[in-house]
Amino acid sequence: MMYPQLHFTGQVWRPPYEASSQLLQLTSGCTWHKCKFCSLYHGTPFRMSPLSEVEEDLNVIRQWQPRARRVYLTGANPFALSYNRLMDVALLLRKYLPFMVSFGMFARVTDIKPKSVAELKNLRHLKLDSINIGVETAHDPTLERMNKGYHAADILEQLSKLEEAGIRYNIVYLNGLGGKGNGVASAVATADVLNQLHPCIINIVSLTIFPESQLYQEVMDGSYEEEPEIERLVEMRTLIERLTIKTNILSNHVSNTVPVTGALPNDKAAILAEFDKAIAAFPESELKAYRDRIRHL
């Protein structure tokens, strides 16, 4: 018996907390593809799934998961699509999956800018309730060096629009991105911006450089020096210590040498104590050996 297959192209990623969501490809690859550190979508050009393809996949999902309640749209940043295209997709989701209560996707900070608050509210009305955003840092010199295509002021402005529209968002903080000597500055700058916002989850991932990235070449030619592991722990500790907002911390990713999770502010003291313990106990060489063993994320 031949089973129908969904259209998935290239790398498919979803956050760990979307494990029970129904996945549906809306785009593949990334619209930007210029971040020096990134190798996640290496070799996959950006592609927008035609609505006919999306509808074919929804027809399959309706047959096999007719009561799907949560849909996660895959691709590096499907939110780059126009407001009208996203509305079309939202209406298709409602047509084919009447039991769906919410959907989400990845976005770049720059994907939010073309959409008005009124448009964002309309998308929220059609069940878009959360977006995952790779902010990485709010340290402007690092954002510029890594070619992220935006600045700290843009993070504040665009994420504030999501809040006004009632769309929850989770962010990714890329620990160690600033390179040697810049960890604390990155943490302080990011905390200053996040304390003016209300992210639901702060995912902390530690920079792990792979040969497919442009940054790897800069490491090889000596123009970029990786942040030492102990400095990374101090950076994470500084970020969490300076946060004054109510949020959730997820730093149990494989890239983190000290995995911690918790809810702020209640768990802050316990998390900081965990970092203090690790900084005192682990030698740099042992932590570096762990990172060197990471083959993929």
pLDDT in tens, the chain (297 residues): 678 899 999 899 999 999 999 999 999 999 999 999 999 998 899 999 999 999 999 999 999 999 999 999 999 999 999 999 999 999 999 999 999 999 999 999 999 999 999 999 999 999 999 999 999 999 999 999 999 999 999 999 999 999 999 999 999 999 999 999 999 999 999 999 999 999 999 999 999 999 999 999 999 999 999 999 999 999 999 999 999 999 999 999 999 999 999 999 999 999 999 999 999 999 999 999 999 999 988
pLDDT value at residue 1? 66
Alpha helices in 146-267 (DSSP H): 152-165, 183-194, 214-220, 229-242
In a domain, 149, yes or no: yes
pTM for this entry:
0.96
Query: Range of 285's domain?
Result: 16-292
pLDDT value at residue 205? 98
- Domain total for the chain? 1
Burial class (CB in 10 A: 0-12, 13-18, 19+), 215: buried
In a domain, 103, yes or no: yes
In a domain, 20, yes or no: yes
pLDDT value at residue 4? 87
In a domain, 276, yes or no: yes
In a domain, 280, yes or no: yes
Q: In what order do the strands lie in the sheet with 70-74?
A: 22-25, 70-74, 102-107, 128-136, 168-175, 201-206, 247-250, 261-264
Domain CATH for 264: 3.20.20.70
